[in-house]
Chain A
Amino acid sequence: MADLSSGTDTLIRYREDDPVDHAAVTVDSFLDQSSASAVRVEPGDDARELIPHLERLSLVEVNFPAFGDGRGYSSARLLREAGYDGELRAVGDVLVDQVAYMRRCGFDAFDPDAPLNEDDLEAAFNRWPEVYQSAADERTPIWSKRHA
């Protein structure tokens, strides 16, 4: 179940560890300094620049200034493919109709601009009994079940 108790009112986390207690810095600032453990990736940033520094990261926020800009899905997935296992948080214009795909791309926390309705959220995550693709989550694709 989502932990709705910590952080901001709208933060939803699917992790057991404690959230990072300081604000995320920009990718440029992060690459310039060694102390930050939280970074915010904007749609135009190249998330691959973070890959050499994944050990010191505990939180990557991926910003969605507009929900229709899908670059953040790729940013999330390529970080997971590179082995990042810290918190991956979708922030900004994050809507309930996109969260299921975001989970599949590796997001495990959401901090939307507008709060999400809890019933709608639960329905969204329970919507898809099966998936066609292998992605950044643990779900077994249909093609794997067919040939188990």
Chain B
Amino acid sequence: MYLYDQYDQRQVDARVEEFRDQARRRLEGKLTEDQFKPLRLMNGLYLQLHAYMLRVAIPYGTLNSRQMHALADIADRYDRGYGHFTTRQNIQYNWIKLEEAADLLADLAKVEMHAIQTSGNCIRNISSDHFAGAASDELVDPRPYAELLRQWSSFHPEFSYLPRKFKIAVIASDTDRAAMRLHDIGIQIVQQDGELGAAFYVGGGMGRTPMIAPCIKDFVPLDRLVTYAEAVLRVYNRYGRRDNKYKARIKILVHEMGKDEFTQAVDEEFARMLDEGIEPPFAELERIRTFFEDPLFEAGASEEIDRGDPDFALWVDRNTVAHKAPGYVSAVISLKPVGGIPGDATSEQMRLMADLAKDYSFDELRVMHTQNIVLPHVRKADLHALWTALDGAGLGAPNLDTIEDIIACPGLDYCSLANARSIPVAQKISERFAANGKTEALGQLKLKISGCINACGHHHAGHIGILGVDRKGVENYQLLLGGSEAEDVSLAKITGPGFDEAGIVDAVETAADVYLREREDGERFLDTYRRIGMTPFKEALYG
């Protein structure tokens, strides 16, 4: 994985000192809260209901065991002994004191980490495929391109006061595991006539007005990647709406200009920029690529797995994914124990995951946008030892991509924007399905819960989505069906009137039962919904 050189290290060290000085001026009253707010946001510090939350960047979701240990130490030293892994492949701490934030950032910098641009109206942490470098279906590892863009977007002088936040995802396979088309810019590395290039999808997003990004350029040569991204950002910075924060994302600009006119504006800007020396030399991309070479996989590693223990066999079936190297898999550590808080991990669990990564996965971990952790390169022969250690620490839930593998935002338990709680709904649904035993029969069923229309819990992209709203002072939950964040991307539709907290759990089970009754061979929930439509579900829910 990527390692800092002296330059990268100087940048994060300078940032820590800059923030320390800004926090001091704020505490001395020399900066107003309005002046300080965008500065602290660009350092990941966000004011929630009860305390400051600090969001640490995990670039493209990749980290090593030393970094995971540091995250655990931070949880103990500055928080309450746990952290929350997010849908942006980051980690958040919920109980941070402003006076200690600079020290926390300094601790991060010691392990080549930071919280730069994890909030605010700037280019956010770049996300990617959590199986990058391991997936059997990828064209190339997408992370070198994500790292190139990470450096370009860090402290960008022109694009740090954008109309609104800006999220970029990079993938390199036709299977989309990063919700690429629901980003402000989604990039897919593709091949044309033997040459690698980047397809640009611009103007996707969730939030109040969900949109699927159209492809505005099917092939940008790799030696123009940064310049093209710069052109997109300049058009957005100049013309994105600033009169209404709910219409300020680039998706609205693309929608209002129309894809063709927007693309033309980008192309004109791009043409002007070509001689401006914006693009790093190709040697820089080559330098970054050397950090992402394959680890030394054992030749002839055994394909055998002893399935004698049925609990272990179930975990293998559900939580391991095909790997490009024979005898290896990617193993998913579920942070969704039945009745637990999706994405939460204690410092002890973080340390265990770090140690297991060192022992069994070439010292590498990944954070998934679905709020789980991946050990990307595990020998099949080591799986039983790995599972035994995980299961003993409450990390062995065999539920990847099942109805128990719920994405949920922090909701009204933490967030000042939320209208309703998300976590208790997720807990009750996972308990319900663990008790009624339907999880196995339901197979792949992606359930996503947001506590307000800002959609941090990706409810628009859930096979089943739940949206918490405030209805005359009472929490109310709308049910949505038919969304997908994957390569078959679609936006979920609302079934009808909402439900109370107990009612929404029943409603999810009712929808699941319609699927079990109506499904044909091999169909997932999403496939059945797409075939039979909303009506049978509505009849069962409201009939």
Instruction: Give the residues in chain A near B38, CB-CB below 8 Å.
Output: 68
CB distance from A86 to the nearest CB of B (A): 19
User: Known contacts A70-B237, A95-B35: does B276 contact A133 (CB below 8 Å)?
Assistant: no
Instruction: Give the residues in chain A near B272, CB-CB below 8 Å.
Output: 81
Q: Mark B69-96, 1 if CB is under 8 A from A, else 0.
A: 0000000000000000000000000000
A70: contacting residue among B31, B160, B287, CB under 8 A: B160
B157 at the interface (CB under 8 A from A): yes
Q: Mark A110-135, 1 if CB is under 8 A from B, else 0.
A: 00000001001001000111111111
Question: Is the Cβ of A128 less than 8 Å from the Cβ of B162?
Answer: no
B262 at the interface (CB under 8 A from A): no
Residue of A nearest to B31 (CB): A97
B100 at the interface (CB under 8 A from A): no
Instruction: Give the residues in chain B near A131, CB-CB below 8 Å.
Output: 155
A4 at the interface (CB under 8 A from B): no
Question: Is the Cβ of B35 less than 8 Å from the Cβ of A97?
Answer: yes
CB proximity to A under 8 Å, residues B204-221: none
Question: Is the Cβ of A134 less than 8 Å from the Cβ of B278?
Answer: yes
Instruction: Give the residues in chain B near A102, CB-CB below 8 Å.
Output: 157
Question: Is the Cβ of A127 less than 8 Å from the Cβ of B287?
Answer: no
A127: contacting residue among B7, B17, B35, B157, CB under 8 A: B17
Residue of B nearest to A73 (CB): B158
Question: Is the Cβ of A68 less than 8 Å from the Cβ of B7?
Answer: no
B436 at the interface (CB under 8 A from A): no
Partner-binding segment picked from A9-17, A22-30, A140-148:
A140-148
Instruction: Give the residues in chain B near A146, CB-CB below 8 Å.
Output: 5, 7, 284, 287
A104: contacting residue among B11, B21, B22, B157, CB under 8 A: B157
B: contact size bracket: 35 or more
A117 vs B24: C-alpha distance in the bound complex, in angstroms?
15
CB distance from A144 to the nearest CB of B (A): 8
Q: Mark B11-24, 1 if CB is under 8 A from A, else 0.
A: 10010011001100
Question: Is the Cβ of B14 less than 8 Å from the Cβ of A127?
Answer: yes
CB distance from B463 to the nearest CB of A (A): 38
CB distance from B252 to the nearest CB of A (A): 16
B22: contacting residue among A97, A101, A145, CB under 8 A: A97
CB distance from A126 to the nearest CB of B (A): 10
B541 at the interface (CB under 8 A from A): no
B536 at the interface (CB under 8 A from A): no
CB distance from A142 to the nearest CB of B (A): 4
A123 vs B152: C-alpha distance in the bound complex, in angstroms?
24
Instruction: Give the residues in chain B near A144, CB-CB below 8 Å.
Output: 280-281
User: Known contacts A69-B161, A74-B234: does B242 contact A132 (CB below 8 Å)?
Assistant: no
Question: Is the Cβ of B151 less than 8 Å from the Cβ of A142?
Answer: yes
Instruction: Give the residues in chain B near A129, CB-CB below 8 Å.
Output: 10, 14
B139 at the interface (CB under 8 A from A): no
A: contact size bracket: 35 or more
Question: Is the Cβ of A147 less than 8 Å from the Cβ of B284?
Answer: yes
User: Known contacts A68-B121, A127-B14, A145-B7: does B161 contact A81 (CB below 8 Å)?
Assistant: no
A39 at the interface (CB under 8 A from B): no
CB distance from B379 to the nearest CB of A (A): 36
A147: contacting residue among B5, B31, B162, B283, CB under 8 A: B283
A61 vs B67: C-alpha distance in the bound complex, in angstroms?
46
CB distance from B256 to the nearest CB of A (A): 16
Question: Is the Cβ of B152 less than 8 Å from the Cβ of A133?
Answer: yes
Question: Is the Cβ of B160 less than 8 Å from the Cβ of A101?
Answer: yes
Instruction: Give the residues in chain A near B14, CB-CB below 8 Å.
Output: 127-130
CB distance from A68 to the nearest CB of B (A): 6
B2 at the interface (CB under 8 A from A): no
A134 vs B154: C-alpha distance in the bound complex, in angstroms?
12
Question: Is the Cβ of A74 less than 8 Å from the Cβ of B238?
Answer: yes
Question: Is the Cβ of B161 less than 8 Å from the Cβ of A123?
Answer: no
Question: Is the Cβ of B158 less than 8 Å from the Cβ of A135?
Answer: yes
CB distance from A27 to the nearest CB of B (A): 14
CB distance from A92 to the nearest CB of B (A): 13
B237: contacting residue among A71, A95, A134, CB under 8 A: A71
Instruction: Give the residues in chain A near B538, CB-CB below 8 Å.
Output: none
CB distance from A122 to the nearest CB of B (A): 12
A146 vs B156: C-alpha distance in the bound complex, in angstroms?
19
A68 vs B37: C-alpha distance in the bound complex, in angstroms?
10
Instruction: Give the residues in chain A near B22, CB-CB below 8 Å.
Output: 97
B39 at the interface (CB under 8 A from A): yes
Question: Is the Cβ of B276 less than 8 Å from the Cβ of A81?
Answer: yes
B284: contacting residue among A73, A128, A143, CB under 8 A: A143
A143 vs B38: C-alpha distance in the bound complex, in angstroms?
28
A89 at the interface (CB under 8 A from B): no
Instruction: Give the residues in chain A near B154, CB-CB below 8 Å.
Output: 132
Question: Is the Cβ of B157 less than 8 Å from the Cβ of A70?
Answer: no
User: Known contacts A73-B237, A74-B158, A142-B151: does B10 contact A130 (CB below 8 Å)?
Assistant: yes
Instruction: Give the residues in chain B near A97, CB-CB below 8 Å.
Output: 22, 31, 35, 39
Question: Is the Cβ of A105 less than 8 Å from the Cβ of B157?
Answer: yes
A53 vs B315: C-alpha distance in the bound complex, in angstroms?
70
Question: Is the Cβ of B237 less than 8 Å from the Cβ of A132?
Answer: no
Instruction: Give the residues in chain A near B31, CB-CB below 8 Å.
Output: 97
B281: contacting residue among A120, A130, A143, CB under 8 A: A143
Question: Is the Cβ of A130 less than 8 Å from the Cβ of B237?
Answer: no
5 A-B pairs with C-beta separation under 8 A: A70-B158, A81-B276, A127-B17, A128-B155, A146-B7
Task: Enumerate chain A interface residues (CB-CB to B < 8 A).
Answer: 43, 67-71, 73-75, 77-78, 81, 95, 97-98, 100-102, 104-105, 117, 120, 123, 127-135, 141-147
Seed contacts A73-B158, A105-B157, A127-B17; 16 additional CB < 8 Å A-B pairs: A67-B161, A69-B161, A69-B242, A70-B121, A70-B160, A81-B272, A81-B273, A97-B31, A102-B157, A105-B158, A127-B14, A132-B154, A133-B155, A134-B277, A144-B281, A146-B5
Task: Enumerate chain B interface residues (CB-CB to A < 8 A).
Answer: 5, 7-8, 10-11, 14, 17-18, 21-22, 25, 30-31, 35, 38-39, 121, 151-152, 154-162, 234, 237-238, 242, 272-273, 276-278, 280-281, 283-284, 287
**Across the A-B interface, the 9 shortest Cβ-Cβ residue pairs:** A70-B161, A104-B157, A143-B280, A101-B157, A142-B7, A143-B284, A73-B158, A147-B283, A132-B151
